[in-house]
Amino acid sequence: MCLIEIVRLVQRRYVARTLVDASAHPTVPHPQTVSRPVPVTLAVVAVYLGGLASAMFGVLFLLSRYEVPADLVVIVSLVGAGIILFGLLSVAAAAGLSRGSGLSRLFVTLLAAALIVLQAWTLALALAREWSWWAAAQIVVYLLVLIALWAPPAGRFFRPVLHAG
């Protein structure tokens, strides 16, 4: 908890300094009157549900460590913890999406692209055995989320990502 407070203190100072530096360069502020488009709201809900489902699956995966051989306990524990953390990170990104954060939109885009590649790989491996409808459905959902986040109505809602420099 102390580390969180230290990070928050440093972040506040950094943001304050950035705002002072940015005042020298005229920028267009994010209009507060822009309402969230319906496709973006649906994408936020999908990312929330996916993140929570991933975190719950991670807990179940972590609990499976009691049923594996002793030499796999550490690996299963680390993978389960990683699944939980990425699920919670997705929930945090969904919160940022709901507020119009451009950085959250970028993060969710990278996460969805990685998950699409992994699910496509799963489908390619499954073709030898059987078709995986679950993997195909996840690819479709991720593609719909990407379309919702990058379609023209969403462009007016999200704030631009600040660049260092």
Nearest to 43 by CA among 124, 123, 101: 101
CA atoms within 13 A on the CB side of 10: 6
- Residue extents of the structural domains in the chain: 37-157
pLDDT over threshold 80, residue 81: yes
pLDDT at 146: 92
Average pLDDT, the chain: 81
3-state SS assignment for residue 68: coil
High-pLDDT (> 90) share of the chain, %: 12
Where does the pLDDT of residue 110 fall: very low under 50, low under 70, confident under 90, or very high at 90 and above?
Answer: very high
- Amino acid sitting at position 34: V
> What phi, psi does 43 have (nearest 5°)?
-65, -40
pTM value is 0.68
Structure confidence by residue, pLDDT tens digits, 6-23: 777 777 777 777 776 666
